[in-house]
Amino acid sequence: MTKKFFDSAALTDLPQRYRAQLINCLSGYKSANLIGTADAHGTTNLSMVSSVVHLGANPPLLGMVMRPPSVPRDTYENILETGFFTVNHVHWGIHEQAHQTSARYPKEVSEFDAVGLTPEFKYDFHAPFVKESHVQLACVLKEDVHISWNDTRFLIAEIVQVHVPESIVQEDGHLALEQTELCAVIGLDSYTKATQSVRLPYAKP
Amino acid sequence: MTKKFFDSAALTDLPQRYRAQLINCLSGYKSANLIGTADAHGTTNLSMVSSVVHLGANPPLLGMVMRPPSVPRDTYENILETGFFTVNHVHWGIHEQAHQTSARYPKEVSEFDAVGLTPEFKYDFHAPFVKESHVQLACVLKEDVHISWNDTRFLIAEIVQVHVPESIVQEDGHLALEQTELCAVIGLDSYTKATQSVRLPYAKP
């Protein structure tokens, strides 16, 4: 395939929106998750996040990038205020509602109501799960790392509850997520799902 | 779908390998990238990484999780030593070779030779690209963040070169990556590709 080349100067010179589209595509497929929170008064919030990343299995940790808090960020503020949030997988049946949560609703409007998803409270966890999601995680904030280069935050959290469909749990603990029509994100606005997958054996020299 | 529930105690009690498989699946689809490095003497190294994440577009930044450096980690050491690495997308045509780079080869063996991929040096960049990859990035380390909770590292890097197939660059900067048969990873060892995708309009209330 004939390649197009951008160096640092070319990237800097790109129009802002073009650069945002391009650079957001460069990491490859991104995970599609809905983050559920509630403030101290119980007002719920839901936001689409494509930056959840595995950090470790023991203890079970994940990381999540949050945009600069220079404009109101209800999700980030609720997490700092309470320490709790949920991670809910986005599947093909709810990807349009998930994307719609990225619209800027006023703080008093819950994105659950606005986009038509159902908050689910269970096991005494403060933050709401998304009832329609097949895989749901309850998380507790451990650390809020400030990335000085662009004022983003990298939140580190421990997974304290896991809810997964029984039918996709394999004998060795692997999850056949493609059976849930799990979505991936490309760039800012492209959603995709995989229909087949292959497992490879543990690699040895 | 009937749900299986794990709380913190249940997760802690799982056999180590089962837990590793399960927890690695929880973030959803992960990006599939090959990290190319060379030490100060020019010895090349290549490793499969599923934790590259978008950090920001201006400046163009990405993050990458590295496992604890308690055992020899050539990629991490080469990046610290030189400051340079490449990120190369894994597509369906090379996913088996990419996975095979995770075998523990001795330091004097280059994974390029061992798995049959081609190092490509260009534009005076110190680290090798993967010639077979459709999307190639040159990156410069900006910060090595220590995650104290499990001794992992979160590397922050600036993207200083972008090489992408001309044919997938859309008018607004979006990349039609599904046309390259880009792979995603589930858990530790499952590879998948998407065949269709849909773009959604900018969300407004």
The whole-number average pLDDT for the span A184-190 is 96
Distance CA B64, CA B88 (A): 13
pLDDT of residue A193: 92
pLDDT in tens, A4-34: 999 999 999 999 999 999 999 999 999 999 9
**Secondary structure element (H or E) that encloses residue B52, with its range:** strand B52-57
Q: State how far the Cα of B134 lies from the Cα of B123, in Å rounded to an integer.
A: 17
pLDDT > 70 in chain B, percent: 98
Whether B21 and A172 lie within 8 Å, measured CB to CB: yes
- B180 contacts B134 by C-beta, under 8 angstroms: yes
Residue A192: which of B50, B196, B203 has the nearest Cβ? B196
**B71 pLDDT exceeds 70?**
no
> Do A29 and B26 count as a contact with CB atoms less than 8 A apart?
no
Mean pLDDT for the stretch of residues B161-178: 97
Instruction: Tell me how far apart the alpha carbons of residues A62 and A142 are, in angstroms, rounded to a whole number.
Output: 10
Residue positions counted in chain A: 205
**How many contacts (CB atoms, under 8 Å) link A and B?**
377
Alpha helices for A87-184 (secondary structure H): 95-100, 111-115
Tell me the Ramachandran region of residue A67: left when phi exceeds 0, alpha when psi lies from -120 to 50, beta otherwise: beta
Give the C-alpha separation, A154 to B36, whole Å: 25
Which ipTM was obtained for this model?
0.96
* Residue of B24, B26, B133, B170 to mutate, testing the A interface (most A Cβ within 10 Å of its Cβ): B26
Answer yes or no: do B177 and A1 touch at CB < 8 A: no
**A169 pairs with which residues across the strands?**
A175
Interface with A, mutate which of B25, B96, B129, B154 (most A CBs under 10 A): B25
Express each pLDDT in A86-145 by its tens digit: 999 999 999 999 999 999 998 889 999 999 999 999 999 999 999 999 999 999 999 999
Amino acid (one-letter) located at A134: H
Phi then psi dihedrals of residue A18, to 5 deg: -60, -45
In the prediction, which pLDDT does A71 show?
65
- Average pLDDT value over all residues in chain A: 95
**pLDDT at B183 exceeding the cut of 90:** yes
Residue A158, strand partner residues = A61, A140
Tell me the sheet residues that pair with A6. B162
Quote the pLDDT of residue A68: 76
A164: CB partners within 8 A, 6+ apart: A134, A135, A175, B3, B4, B6
Structure tokens at A166: 């029984």
Model confidence over B5-63: pLDDT tens digits? 999 999 999 999 999 999 999 999 999 999 999 999 999 999 999 999 999 999 999 99
Give the best residue of B29, B100, B152, B195 to mutate against chain A (max A CB count within 10 A). B29
**CB count in 10 Å sphere of residue B125:** 20
pTM metric for this prediction: 0.96
What is the arithmetic mean of pLDDT over A194-205? 88
What value does the CA radius of gyration of chain B take, rounded to a whole number of Å?
18
